[in-house]
Amino acid sequence: MEFFVIQALTGLASASSLFLVASGLSIIFGVTRIVNFAHGSFFMLGAYVAYTLTTAWSGPLGAVLGFWGGLLAAAAVVAVVGALVEILILRRIYGAPELFPLLATFGLALMVEDIVTLIWGPEDLLGPRAPGLEGAVSILGQPFPAYDLVLIALGPAVLGLLWLLLHRTRWGVLVRAATQDRAMVAALGVNQARLFTGVFTLGAFLAALGGAVQIPREAVHHALDMQIIVEAFVIVVIGGLGSVPGAFLAAVIVAELNAFGILLFPKISLVLLFLVMAVVLVLRPHGLLGRAEEAPRPAPGLAQTPWRPLGRAAGGAVLALVGALAALPLFAGDYTLSVLSEILIFALFAASLHLMMGVGGMVSFGHAAYFGLGAYGAALLVRFLEAPMSLGLLAGPLLALAGAALFGWFCVRLSGVYLAMLTLAFAQIIWSVAFQWTPVTGGDNGILGVWPSPWAADPALFYLLTLALCAAALTAVRHLIFSPFGYAVRACRDSVRRAGAIGLDRLRTQWLCFTLAGGFAGLAGALYAYLKGSVFPEVLSIPVSIDGLVMVLLGGIQTVAGPLVGAGVFKALSIHMSSETELWQLVLGGFIVALVIAFPEGIVGIWRRRVAPLRAERPDAEG
Partner 1 sequence: MTAKLVVRGLNAWYGRAHILFDVTLSVAGGEVLALLGRNGAGKTTTLASLMGLVPAVTGDVILDGVPIAGLPAHRIARLGLGYVPEDRRIFSDLTVAENLAVGRQPPRPGVPAWTPAALFDLFPNLADLRHRRAGQMSGGEQQMLTIARTLMGNPSVILLDEPAEGLAPRIVAQMAAVLRTMKAEGLTLIVSEQNLHFARSVVDRVCILEKGRLRFEGTMATFDGAKDVKDRYLAI
- Chain residues binding partner 1 by CB under 8 A are 95, 170, 173-174, 176-177, 179-181, 183-192, 291, 300-305
Task: Cite the beta strand spans of 108-239 per DSSP E.
Answer: 136-139, 142-145
Residue among 479 and 618 whose Cβ is closer to partner 1: 618
Least Å distance, CB 92 to partner 1, is 14
Closest among 526, 521, 520, 519 to 378, alpha carbons compared: 526
Question: Which residues partner with 138 through β-bridges?
Answer: 143
Tell me how far, at minimum, the Cβ of 190 lies from partner 1, in Å: 6
Q: How far apart are CA 39 and CA 51, in angstroms?
A: 19
Task: Please count the helices (runs of H) and the strands (runs of E) in the chain.
Answer: 26, 4
239, 248 contact by CB (below 8 A):
yes
CB of 438 to partner 1, least distance (A): 49
Burial class for 323, CB neighbours closer than 10 Å (0-12, 13-18, 19+):
exposed
At position 398, the amino acid (one-letter code) is L
Shortest Å, Cβ 610 to partner 1 = 15
Least separation in angstroms between CB 90 and partner 1: 16
With beta carbons less than 8 A apart as the criterion, state whether 71 and 50 touch.
yes
Could you tell me the smallest distance in angstroms from the CB atom of residue 116 to partner 1? 36
Closer by beta carbon to partner 1, 294 or else 386: 294
Residue nearer to partner 1 on the CB measure, 169 or 483:
169
Closer Cβ to partner 1, 243 or 585, answer by number: 243
Cβ burial 214-245 (10 Å sphere, 16+ → b, else e): bbbbeebbbebbbebbbbbbbbbbbbbbbbbe
Taking alpha carbons only, the member of 231, 234, 275 closest to residue 410 is: 275
The least distance separating partner 1 from the CB of residue 93, rounded to whole angstroms, comes to: 14
CB closer to partner 1 out of 298 and 449? 298
Q: ∠136-141-147 over CA atoms, to 5°?
A: 20
Residue 598: is it exposed, middle or buried by C-beta count within 10 angstroms (0-12/13-18/19+)?
Answer: exposed
Nearer to partner 1, 243 or 574 (CB): 243
Nearer to partner 1, 177 or 339 (CB): 177
DSSP string, 495-563: -HHHHHHTT--HHHHHHHHHHHHHHHHHHHHHHHHHHHTEE-GGGGSHHHHHHHHHHHHHH-TTSSSHH
The residue among 201, 192, 252 whose CA lies nearest residue 78 is: 201
> What's the CA gap between 357 and 554, in Å, rounded?
14
Which lies closer to partner 1 via its Cβ, residue 242 or residue 562? 242
Q: Which is nearer to partner 1, 311 or 443 (CB)?
A: 311
C-alpha distances (whole Å) from 489 to each of 179, 405, 424, 455, 482 are 29, 16, 22, 40, 10
Least distance CB 414 / partner 1 (angstroms): 21
Q: How far is the CB of 617 from partner 1 (least distance, A)?
A: 13
C-beta closer to partner 1: residue 169 or 581: 169
CA distances from 231 to 148, 285, 598, 623 (A): 20, 18, 32, 39
User: How many angstroms separate the CA atoms of 623 and 169, rounded?
Assistant: 50
In the complex, the smallest distance separating the C-beta of residue 91 from partner 1, rounded to whole angstroms, is 12
Provide the 8-state DSSP code for 437: -
Give the residue with the Cβ less far from partner 1, 383 or 608. 608
**Of 134 and 494, CB closest to partner 1:** 494
Is residue 220 within 8 Å of 125, Cβ to Cβ?
A: yes
340 φ/ψ angles, rounded to the nearest 5 degrees: -65, -40
Q: With contact defined as beta carbons under 8 Å apart, do 374 and 521 qualify?
A: yes
The CB-of-216 to partner 1 minimum distance in angstroms stands at 38
What is the Cα–Cα distance from 571 to 548, expressed in whole angstroms?
A: 10
In the complex, least distance from residue 300 CB atom to partner 1, rounded to whole angstroms: 5
CB of 188 to partner 1, least distance (A): 5
Q: Which is nearer to partner 1, 170 or 267 (CB)?
A: 170
The residue (of 297 and 508) whose beta carbon lies closer to partner 1 is: 297
Q: Cα angle at 299 between 170 and 201, to 5 degrees?
A: 40
Minimum CB distance to partner 1 smaller for 60 or for 301: 301
Q: What is the DSSP string of 384-418?
A: HH---HHHHHHHHHHHHHHHHHHHHHHHTTS-HHH
> Where on the phi/psi map is residue 126: left (φ > 0), alpha (ψ -120 to 50), or beta?
beta
Nearer to partner 1, 303 or 406 (CB): 303
Identify each DSSP E strand in 140-210 by its residue range.
142-145
From 314, 72, 80, select the one nearest 198 (Cα to Cα): 80
**Shortest reach from residue 30's CB to partner 1, in Å:** 11
State the nearest-atom distance from the C-beta of 193 to partner 1, in Å: 8
Please, what is the minimum distance in Å from the beta carbon of residue 94 to partner 1?
Answer: 11
DSSP state of 328: G
